[in-house]
């Protein structure tokens, strides 16, 4: 086998391999640039990467590693710019792209070297055909594998520790795969051309596989953590509902006793002022009895508990709800949806200095074969959205923001959809849930 071929993978092949690897992962990101904005920038990065690698083709061994680091930095820039990815997230995808590019370039040149030894007269054709076939096969396969798990890329939330672990895997694989090229006299190097080629390709393949397994494992663990957290939110809201139910029952009994006491007092000769006071007490009782009677006992409990809190903090809560339309839903799901929605709304308006702006509106209505739930509150500030949901305003997405997620989780159990929007200083949460068909 020709040793010269082994030692000199064309730099343009390497540049194309790195560019394609970056493109595979950029295309997985939903927040990437679109259309000409994406492809124009991608083409510019390809030109820069190819030019840099071509100019550094014959650098001394001492400068080889710095040049590889610079090439990796170019890949990082492409992912960050074209994918609109945060730096840590771009770094994680760059690590995976770099390892994939190393494998694809090594495999392509190894197969070309093998083929050209058999049919040397076709060297010119093979120089184009082999890269085309290998790159198409490798990158389409990886693109398909990653697309099957595209949901993992909606909430990557890479930590510095996870980035460091992925980088350590890639650096170790890269070092071992190129050991025989850079340090031919080390105890772990080989002088046989075939062994050198096989070692590089197989170690790079191992690096790609390990990084893919690491990605799958971290994604599964994060999903498990998120589901556990949402379940805890569900349990907490349901526990709050049960506590509210007990408190409301106690208040109802107290008001019932008060009605009898008032009737007894009226039988006594009292001053006009006392009669007026008693009239006012009766009016208050009638208002309490009439409020939050939606036709659904779970909603009545949730609204009654939240109403008391809103009154204490100067918040105006308006409810127009056909609770009977939600009788098909489980009590835990109802307490989760309305408890979290009202908690978020209350938290948003509670600290507004102008009490006239502390407004929350809730409506539940039937819309043909659906139930429409709308929770609105006055809102001042800016929200960033990710995948249709607002990002947490508490500064740590890893530990907050599960209220909206738990609402969406509960709605989807019934085939419902959640929509969140902000317009003209109003935050609006809408749920559209299909009503199950009545049994014949």
Model confidence at 2, pLDDT cuts 50, 70, 90, reads: very low
- For residue 285, the model assigns a pLDDT of 59
- Has residue 46 got a pLDDT over 90? yes
pLDDT digits (tens, 9 = 90+) for 226-237: 666 666 666 666
- Where does 249-310 show beta strands of DSSP type E? none
Whether the CB-CB separation of 403 and 340 falls below 8 Å is answered with yes
> Which of helix, strand or coil describes residue 368?
coil
pLDDT digits (tens, 9 = 90+) for 118-171: 888 888 888 889 989 999 999 999 999 998 887 777 777 788 888 999 999 999
Across the chain, which distance is largest between two alpha carbons, in Å?
A: 122
- For residue 218, the model assigns a pLDDT of 84
**Residue 20: phi, psi to the nearest 5?**
-65, -40
Instruction: Return the percentage of the chain with pLDDT > 70, whole number.
Output: 73
pLDDT digits (tens, 9 = 90+) for 318-351: 888 888 899 898 887 888 889 889 988 988 898 8
- C-alpha dihedral (317, 321, 327, 332), degrees to nearest 10: -20
Q: Give the number of residues written for the chain.
A: 440
Model confidence at 359, pLDDT cuts 50, 70, 90, reads: very high
Model confidence at 196, pLDDT cuts 50, 70, 90, reads: low
pLDDT mean over 35-43? 92
Model confidence at 200, pLDDT cuts 50, 70, 90, reads: confident
Going 148 to 205 to 89 to 227, the CA torsion angle's sign is: positive
Start-to-end CA distance of the chain, whole Å, equals 78
Q: Which of 359, 320, 398 has the alpha carbon at shortest distance from 159?
A: 398
- Has residue 362 got a pLDDT over 90? yes
Inter-CA distances, 440 with 357, 434, 437, Å: 48, 18, 9
> Which of helix, strand or coil describes residue 41?
helix
Whether the CB-CB separation of 392 and 400 falls below 8 Å is answered with yes
Where is pLDDT greater, at 63 or 24?
24
Look at the block and give the residue holding tokens 């599960």. 402
Model confidence at 286, pLDDT cuts 50, 70, 90, reads: low
52/74 Cα distance (integer angstroms)? 10
- Has residue 434 got a pLDDT over 90? yes
- pTM for this entry: 0.58
* H-only helix segments in 313-387: 331-350
Where is pLDDT greater, at 410 or 82?
82
Model confidence at 373, pLDDT cuts 50, 70, 90, reads: very high
- For residue 385, the model assigns a pLDDT of 64
Model confidence at 317, pLDDT cuts 50, 70, 90, reads: confident
pLDDT digits (tens, 9 = 90+) for 379-428: 887 776 665 566 655 544 443 456 787 888 888 889 999 998 888 889 99
The answer to which of 25-29, 278-282, 412-416 has the lowest mean pLDDT is: 278-282
Model confidence at 24, pLDDT cuts 50, 70, 90, reads: very high
pLDDT mean over 282-289? 58
β pairing state of 385-386 and 370-378: unpaired
CA-angle at 258, arms to 255 and 262, nearest 5°: 145
236/229 Cα distance (integer angstroms)? 10
- Has residue 288 got a pLDDT over 60? no
Query: If you count DSSP H runs as helices and E runs as strands, how many of each does the chain have, helices first?
Result: 13, 7
436/439 Cα distance (integer angstroms)? 9
**Residue 358: phi, psi to the nearest 5?**
-85, 75
Q: What is the mean pLDDT of the chain?
A: 80
- Has residue 308 got a pLDDT over 80? no
β pairing state of 316-321 and 359-367: parallel
pLDDT mean over 54-78? 84
Going 320 to 324 to 329 to 331, the CA torsion angle's sign is: positive
Model confidence at 297, pLDDT cuts 50, 70, 90, reads: confident
- Token pair belonging to 343: 């908690």
């Amino acid at each position: 086998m020709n040793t010269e071929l082994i030692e000199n993978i064309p730099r343009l092949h390497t540049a194309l391999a790195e560019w394609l690897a970056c493109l595979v992962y950029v295309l997985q990101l939903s927040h990437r640039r679109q259309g000409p904005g994406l492809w124009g920038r991608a083409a510019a990065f390809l030109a820069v990467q190819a030019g840099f690698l071509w100019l550094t083709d014959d650098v001394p061994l001492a400068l080889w590693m710095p040049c590889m680091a610079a090439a990796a930095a170019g890949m990082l820039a492409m992912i960050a710019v074209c994918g609109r990815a945060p730096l840590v997230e771009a770094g994680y995808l760059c690590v995976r792209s770099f390892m994939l590019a190393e494998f694809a370039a090594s495999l392509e040149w190894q197969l070309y070297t093998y083929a050209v030894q058999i049919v040397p007269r076709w060297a010119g054709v093979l120089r184009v055909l082999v890269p085309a076939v290998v790159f198409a096969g490798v990158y389409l396969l990886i693109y398909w594998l990653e697309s099957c798990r595209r949901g993992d890329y909606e909430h990557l939330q890479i930590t510095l520790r996870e980035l460091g672990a992925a980088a350590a895997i890639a650096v170790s694989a890269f070092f071992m795969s190129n050991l025989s090229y850079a340090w031919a006299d080390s105890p772990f190097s080989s002088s046989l051309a075939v062994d050198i080629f096989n070692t590089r390709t197989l170690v790079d393949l191992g690096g790609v596989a390990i990084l893919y397994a690491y990605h799958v494992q971290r994604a599964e663990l994060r999903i498990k953590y998120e589901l556990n957290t949402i379940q805890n939110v569900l349990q907490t809201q349901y526990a709050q509902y049960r506590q509210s139910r007990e408190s409301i029952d106690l208040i109802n009994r107290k008001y019932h006793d008060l009605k009898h006491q008032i009737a007894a007092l009226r039988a006594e000769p009292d001053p006009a002022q006392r009669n007026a006071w008693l009239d006012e007490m009766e009016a208050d009782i009638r208002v309490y009895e009439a409020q939050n009677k939606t036709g659904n006992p779970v909603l009545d409990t949730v609204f009654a508990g939240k109403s008391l809190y809103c009154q204490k903090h100067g918040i105006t809560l308006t409810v127009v709800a056909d609770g009977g339309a939600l009788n098909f839903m489980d009590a835990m799901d109802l307490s989760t949806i309305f408890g979290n929605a009202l908690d978020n709304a209350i938290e948003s308006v509670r600290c507004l200095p102008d009490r006239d702006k502390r407004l929350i509106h809730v409506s539940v209505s039937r819309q043909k074969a659906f139930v429409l739930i709308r929770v609105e509150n006055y809102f001042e500030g800016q929200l960033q959205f990710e995948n249709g949901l607002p990002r947490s305003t508490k500064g740590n997405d890893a530990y907050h923001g599960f209220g909206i997620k738990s609402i969406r989780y509960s709605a989807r159990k019934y085939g419902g959809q959640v929509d969140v929007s902000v317009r003209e200083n109003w935050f609006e949460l809408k749920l559209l849930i299909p009503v199950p068909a009545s049994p014949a």
